[in-house]
Amino acid sequence: MPVATQLEDLYAAIEETAQLARVACSREKVWPVLDAFGDGLADAHVVFSLATGERYAEELAFDFTVPPDAGDPYAVAVSNGLVEKTDHPVGTLFPEIQRRCPVDSFGVDYGIVGGFKKAYVSFPLGEPQRLSTLAGIPSMPRGLAEHADSFAAYGLDGKVSAVAIDYAHRTWNVYFSGLSAQQLEPEAVLSMLRANGLPEPSGRMMDFIRTTFAMYPTFGWDSSKAERLSFSARSTDPAALPARYEPLIGEFAANVPYTYTGERVVVYAGALSAGEECYKIAAYHQKTAQLSDRVRPPTPK
């Protein structure tokens, strides 16, 4: 199928999903990112993400993977006018990670209203990275090094599956996959939250956390304090937690268009911060290979 036809089909799916999410969608806002990354989208995992809460209202994220040979997604975004180049260290972290770590794939988080937001670097499934490797990267903010001991005590060293860089908010995430049932017991979770200065979760959030297997904190550049801590779970059940108590998430999970055969694949996330709890769903629209055990998106902004 010609690339132009594939992109038209993808844009039609974005429009349909935006209507489902009750989010405004314009071709003028979305088509530039399809044009910039179009050559790789036919073989990409494509995910639509929606978050609850007033802070995330009226936005729908369009996330997709990018092959490593396509180059730094942020550099591609700058060269295509999707975002302005910055002199902030956020602009140098991605290539430094790429030079020092093995890379499986890159990714982009693009808001159909807010535009280019994030770039991801995912490590090979069999080669999760160690905290010391990442903490030694020159542009890595100090938050990772300062929390390395508590993360290691929680059993997370050698479990880093991905790093995300949020250029719009100048924050970053480190993704830990393969959490055990013991690490998700309430006392272990509460200990991790206390170590990061975050409040105790509600009962329904704790119930959700016990179904998850990946965790990712959010840090900024100006403080070593974690801004939020998120947990993810993959499911083929649109009615799984937290869809049962968030009607819009349940409706979204059950109706997002998808192109692959078999059951619909979704990833749920719950995030805790000092000010709120929120939930997010990432629904796979397209996947062209066996979905790995790695969870990469979603992250509430």
In tens, the pLDDT along 175-213 reads 999 999 999 999 999 999 998 889 999 999 999 999 999
Total number of domains constituting the chain? 1
3-class DSSP state for residue 66?
A: strand
Whether residue 231 contacts residue 212, with contact meaning beta carbons closer than 8 Å, is answered with: yes
299 found inside a domain: no
Count the Cβ atoms, other than its own, within 10 Å of residue 55: 13
Pairing of strands 266-273, 105-111: unpaired
Q: Which amino acid is at 80?
A: N
Cα–Cα nearest to 50, from 268, 259, 295:
268
Whether residue 169 contacts residue 273, with contact meaning beta carbons closer than 8 Å, is answered with: no
Residues 6+ apart with CB under 8 A from 9: none
Q: Is the pLDDT of residue 300 over 70?
A: no
Pairing of strands 160-166, 171-177: antiparallel
Report which secondary-structure segment, H or E, holds 15. Answer: helix 3-21
297 found inside a domain: no
291 found inside a domain: no
- Tell me the pLDDT of the chain averaged across its residues: 91
281 found inside a domain: yes
298 found inside a domain: no
Phi/psi of residue 81, each to 5°? Answer: 75, 20
Enumerate the β-bridge partners of residue 64: 46, 108
Domain containing residue 29: 3-286
Per-residue pLDDT tens digits for 128-167: 999 999 999 999 998 899 999 999 999 999 999 999 999 9
17 found inside a domain: yes
Structure tokens at 76: 């591609």
Q: What is the mean pLDDT of residues 87-111?
A: 93
296 found inside a domain: no
C-alpha 40: how far from chain center: 19
60 found inside a domain: yes
